[in-house]
Amino acid sequence: MVRADTERKPDAKLVAAMANGDAHALKALNARYGASLSALAFRFLADQADAEEVVADVLWQAWREAALYDPARGSVAAWLVAMSRSRAIDRFRAIRARRLAPGIGEPNPEATPDPADELDSAERGRIVKHALETLDPKQRELLELAYFSDLSQTEIAARLALPLGTVKTRMRAALLKLRQMLSGLPE
């Protein structure tokens, strides 16, 4: 069981405590991130036992390398996700290599999606979804009608009983805000 005082510590303090040999800090980190790291690994491996083994390896690595963690390089969550992603990809490649029968050759790269690309796509989707959620609800509604219902600005104005100029102004403001929020997103 994780001690209550350890449970409330910020992530960086938990890692610092791990560097000093505090096993309760490792338990707290596992309680916070174990399930999400397992879900991430499962997306790559499609096997719960392999995913759990990846998480165990990652937490063991975090325990061993806690003193090397640098908060200036990213959050603890990002550090753990990066290690989990890397370990899951390595395990996926190892499993795939074992499954290839000798003499058959390499699998068709188009038939086997790259898990890293799928993860990057999912992460980009999460970021865009978050950016949309931060918009004013009236602006978000207009963008959803335009892009998901494929309505023109004139049709949106008619459906919402708004002047066309108002629809255009709100949509432009929403798009500019999204562009600003997503400008740091890699292509």
Domains and CATH numbers, the chain: 1-103 (1.10.1740.10), 114-187 (1.10.10.10)
Residue 116, judged by CB atoms within 10 A of its CB (0-12, 13-18, 19+), counts as: middle
Q: Is the pLDDT of residue 185 over 80?
A: no
Q: What is the pLDDT of residues 142-163, one digit of tens each?
A: 888 887 777 889 999 999 999 9
C-alpha to C-alpha distances, 151 to 32, 165, 176, nearest whole angstrom: 43, 16, 20
> Residue 104 gets which letter from DSSP?
T
136 to 20, 124, 131, 140: CA distances (angstroms): 46, 21, 11, 6
CA–CA dist 13, 107 (Å, integer): 45
Q: Of 7-11, 13-17, 121-125, which one has max mean pLDDT?
A: 13-17
Q: 148-157: long-range contacts (C-beta < 8 A, 24 or more apart)?
A: none
**Rounded mean pLDDT, 71-93:** 88
- Mean pLDDT over residues 115-120, rounded? 72
